[in-house]
Amino acid sequence: MTEYWPWWAGAAGLALTTINYAVTTDRSFGVSGAWDRVLHWRAERRVERVNEQFADERVLTAALAAATTDQFGAGSAPPAAHPAPDDDARTPRRDGRRPASPSPSLARLLPAPLVSQVALLLSIFVGGWIAAVTAGRFQLRLDMGDAFGQIVSDKPIEMIGALFVGGVLVGFGTRLAGGCSSGHGLNGCGRLQPVSIVATAVFFGTGVLVSFLLWKVI
């Protein structure tokens, strides 16, 4: 029989991870969202470079005012001049003082740095490897384990097809809900996000209902 760590150790680890990520980044995290951003890293890097140009709220305000004026005329927006080169957030001022740091409210609207998403995914892999090594269960294999073999042994083609369709539905549902169980259940609910609370109630409630139907009714 496989020996696992105590349930409270896993719960404490998840809690510490969630709290640490929320405190250090002031954002929610999720595995599916991290995978999506890493897989589209070129587009994410382009977005990050654009965001860096408007890291200073004054620069963003001036750019929006200028764009509004160009589109609708000078009377449609309050006059706002583009900041002088020495007001750039990336360069010191002429008097030697550093410009104001980006507004915290503006920073919270931006997505987490792409490197943090890469670190999250790598840490999951490394953590699983450390757990397997310390438990003496680490081994390289080409199949998905004995439990998977038992599931697909009777009707391999049908079961693999069902698992594939189930995986596609999970991916579709994750994108439709804007997050997975780790994003909504662990982080979103902990931050009292209404959307996450509703999403978590729906997918856990559906899981309980389907399990009851499969094991007690069908």
Tell me the mean pLDDT per 10 residues along the chain, length 218.
73 83 75 84 83 67 77 59 47 50 56 82 88 82 71 74 86 83 82 87 89 80
pLDDT of residue 108: 59
Which residues, other chains included, contact 118 with Cβ-Cβ below 8 Å and sequence gap of 6+? Answer: 34, 38
pLDDT of residue 68: 82
pLDDT of residue 55: 62
CA-based nearest residue to 113, from 49, 187, 181 = 49
pLDDT of residue 103: 53
pLDDT of residue 84: 47
pLDDT of residue 48: 80
pLDDT of residue 87: 47
CA-based nearest residue to 171, from 32, 41, 34, 28 = 32
Q: Are 45 and 111 in contact (CB under 8 A)?
A: no
Question: In the chain, what's the furthest Cα-to-Cα distance?
Answer: 78
Q: State the virtual CA torsion across 153, 157, 158, 162 in degrees, nearest 10.
A: 100
Q: State the virtual CA torsion across 49, 45, 33, 173 in degrees, nearest 10.
A: 100
CA distances from 31 to 10, 147, 151, 168 (A): 17, 24, 26, 16
Q: Tell me the per-residue pLDDT of 119-153, one tens digit each, with 9 for 90 and over.
A: 888 988 898 888 888 878 788 877 667 777 776 66
Residue 91: CA count within 13 A, CB half-sphere: 9
CA-based nearest residue to 182, from 4, 15, 12 = 15
Give 34: exposed, middle or buried? Use CB within 10 Å, 0-12, 13-18, 19+. Answer: buried
Q: State the virtual CA torsion across 183, 186, 192, 194 in degrees, nearest 10.
A: 50
**Separation of alpha carbons 20 and 39, rounded Å:** 24
In the chain, what are the domain boundaries? 1-47+111-140, 56-101
Backbone phi, then psi, for 142, in 5-degree steps?
-100, -5
